[in-house]
């Protein structure tokens, strides 16, 4: 039975929450082709890839239900706001549907939340109708700062707050997802990312309230989910 047949039998197929991600430096063109083929086959929400592959992914996924997401200011967030705005506009011109941006982490660590807000807000404006997911790198902040950053994201007009880049100290935890879900009060979605490699971890994050899952292990997660459903 192929993935499309599975999806017709599934009560709540997790594939629709999964962003099929490949952001490693050593990624090749053939890797992107394979990623896009898997995304269509399994019915993932999107592929999340580096900006240099957006045009190719757009061509491969045209006329499918799989969106193209890319990253801005990734992975450190230290680019100027002007650079992030340029990256965003260029990504949209190349065919991106969604933007995952990294905040000005240094500003957030010194409680300069006005600078963080302005940085995010300008990317949101540049993105126009494209969904913006704001990466706050939860492992670097205490709970009070995470709540404050959640307020910044809501105020910015972005569509999602995202836990992690996957390139810092640690990734998503169910505790952080619950904290962010409570902090945003359903005003924006919560994307969990970083270190999600199996179905039990994915399930725990979805149960905690995540509305998107960023992972490079989407195929393995789906295979494990099918087994858990007896499919």
Interatomic CA distance for residues 145 and 95, integer angstroms: 34
Burial of 142 (0-12, 13-18, 19+ CB in 10 A): exposed
Closest C-alpha among 191, 207, 188, 189 to residue 199: 207
What residues pair up with 47 in beta bridges, in sequence order?
20, 68
Whether residue 100 lies in the annotated active site = yes
Q: 3-state DSSP: the chain helix, strand, coil percent, rounded to 5?
A: 50, 15, 30
Interatomic CA distance for residues 43 and 20, integer angstroms: 10
Q: How many residues does the chain have?
A: 231
The owner of tokens 């019915």 is: 43
The residue annotated as part of the active site, out of 97, 100, 119, 176, is 100
Is 189 strand, coil or helix?
Answer: strand
The residue annotated as part of the active site, out of 84, 133, 146, 191, is 191
**Helical pair 174-184 and 199-207, crossing angle rounded to 10 deg:** 30
The owner of tokens 């680019």 is: 79
Q: Which residues are catalytic?
A: 100, 162, 191
């Amino acid at each position: 039975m192929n993935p499309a047949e599975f999806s017709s039998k599934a009560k709540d197929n997790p594939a629709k929450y999964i962003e099929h991600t490949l952001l490693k430096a050593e990624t090749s063109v053939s890797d992107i082709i394979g990623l896009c083929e898997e995304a269509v086959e399994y019915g993932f929400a999107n592929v999340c890839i580096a900006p240099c592959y957006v045009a190719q992914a757009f061509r491969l996924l045209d006329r499918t239900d799989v969106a193209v997401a890319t990253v801005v200011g990734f992975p450190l967030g230290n680019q100027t706001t002007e650079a992030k705005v340029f990256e965003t506009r260029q990504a949209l011109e190349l065919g991106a549907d969604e933007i995952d941006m990294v905040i000005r982490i240094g500003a957030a660590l010194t409680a300069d939340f006005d600078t963080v807000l302005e940085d995010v807000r300008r990317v949101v404006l540049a993105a126009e109708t494209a969904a913006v997911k704001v990466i706050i790198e939860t492992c670097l902040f205490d709970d009070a700062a995470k709540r404050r950053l959640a307020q910044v994201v809501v105020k910015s007009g972005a569509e999602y707050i995202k836990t992690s880049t996957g390139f810092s100290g640690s990734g998503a935890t169910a505790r952080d997802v619950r904290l962010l879900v409570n902090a945003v009060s359903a005003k924006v979605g919560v994307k969990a990312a970083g270190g999600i490699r199996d179905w039990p971890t994915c399930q725990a994050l979805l149960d905690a309230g995540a509305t998107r899952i960023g992972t490079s292990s989407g195929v393995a997660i789906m295979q494990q989910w099918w087994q858990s459903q007896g499919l």
